[in-house]
A and B are shown apart, each in its own frame.
Chain A
Amino acid sequence: MSAHAVTVKEQDKRLISSRSQPYVYFKVKLTIENEDTSQMTDVVYKFLITKAVAETLGEVGAAICVDLLKLFGNGVSIIRVPSSHSEKLWAALTLYGTTPAQARCAFRVLQVSSFLMGLAFDTTEHS
């Protein structure tokens, strides 16, 4: 993020904050082998996230406040994480490989942004 505070006129003053934002938003896709994730309830989804974090970061890590903001039908969700822990938490999601039912699964992070609006459009997808 570049920090520029451009003052053009007093009425259309534009401010871009340079300080780090309190939260980081992730767009995550969960895939479970031989299982349909489209019917998954948000309770189960949140449980798997907590499980993933607890497995790598332990109980202290699981205490990090992760909010499931929106669960789309196809296993894609938007989660909100405090930015101070976002890197470790992302790694914990990446390193989660098997569900409690011993099925292979994968959390793949599709997009990351410190603003929720940033997830509205995916620049890596042109098609």
Chain B
Amino acid sequence: MALPSYSDLNILGESGEKLTDIIDLSIELGFERVAVNNFVANLKGGKGKKQTEKIAVSPPSEILLNEKSLASLQLNGKTFEQLSRITVVLQDDTNIPRLGGSDIQAYDILAVQPTTEATFKLACQTLDIDIISFNFAEKIGFSHKRSLLNAAAKRGIYFEILYGPALINNVVKRQTISNAMSLVNVCLGKNIILSSGAEYPSTLRSPMDVFNLARLFGLSYPQAKDAISGNCRAVLKHAASRKTCKSVISVKAATALSQKEQWLLNKEYCDPDSSVEGDESEENDGDESEENDDLENDFESNEPKKKKIKIS
């Protein structure tokens, strides 16, 4: 089993010395994947607004590592992945059309922070996003309904618990713990990620510290581990699938194929990369669909075409 690669999908901050410090420290602590977050409190979208009134979303920034941290990475033979993420606060549904814009889609990960029940419902059921984040510092004005959380989980959306704000004062800490525990309670510990939301290097904690914190919030051992490694990877896969073009694959059991369609199971035809010996290899140069038609004519010349497996 491969070692888990620990991730922190929320590091706040604009580019600068401070951000470089945080990233250097995160490498030192053993994180292998870090997302730099751009927090947008209000997009100011909406129809009535003029173009100039809308807030310009800055493009994702790339932070270059300095020589020293790069050298230590190479020495240990570790990899480090840097991602960009945007978090948009959703007060109402006026900002939603802007989420599909190219300036926001340019980010690797798209997260929203719903503040009302209506936007939370929307985020869980319809919006094309990767992470739902909550403002744990205050009392959340709505309840986490299990049906909504399940709907979001089914669509591959993950919920984020931020521990960074809890380090500042006691009231926020209490609020964070109680909110996190209630969230974990409702969604049974599934689909949860923990991230720091670090603004300063001292807010960052090591992966094992975060792991133990997840245990405090009520996650089981495997769930706590997933919250900092496996689930974060799933978020990335979900984000990647958001960007690729839509595609459909039809799957049919091999036993369900009729006698006439058995040729599909022949490895030579199934795998386009495998070299086919003999005369047929020369035919491979032609258009693939043409080749398919040829084969079908060979094997089912009497049968009308019933089913065609198409992978686009």
Contact = CB atoms under 8 A, between A and B. Distances in A.
Interface stretch (B85-93, B126-134, B144-152, B165-173): B165-173
Contact of B202 (A91, A104, A112): A104
Interface of A: 31-33, 55-56, 87-88, 90-91, 94-98, 104-106, 108-110, 112, 124, 126-127
A8 B167 CA distance: 53
7 contacts: A56-B173, A95-B167, A104-B203, A108-B206, A109-B212, A124-B30, A127-B76
Contact of B212 (A32, A33, A90): A90
A87 B215 contact: yes
Contacts of A32: 202
A112 B208 contact: yes
Contacts of B213: 91, 94-95
B204 interface: yes
B216 interface: yes
A10 to B, nearest CB: 39
Contacts of A96: 167
Contacts of B169: 98
B229 to A, nearest CB: 15
Contact of A108 (B29, B76, B167): B29
Contacts of B201: 33
A31 B29 CA distance: 13
Nearest to A31: B202
B167 A97 contact: yes
A90 B208 CA distance: 10
B53 interface: no
A95 B166 contact: yes
B204 A87 contact: no
A87 B202 CA distance: 21
Classify chain B: how many residues form its interface, as a range. 20 to 34
B168 A91 contact: no
Interface in B1-57: 29-30
A106 B202 contact: yes
B205 interface: yes
Contacts of B72: 127
B75 interface: yes
Interface string B171-201: 0010000000000000000000000000011
B216 A91 contact: yes
A127 B204 CA distance: 23
Contact of A55 (B76, B170, B208): B170
A108 B200 contact: no
B205 A94 contact: yes
A108 B209 contact: yes
Interface string B201-234: 1111110111011011000000000000000000
B170 A106 contact: no
B163 interface: yes
Nearest to A86: B212
A91 B29 contact: no
A55 B202 CA distance: 18
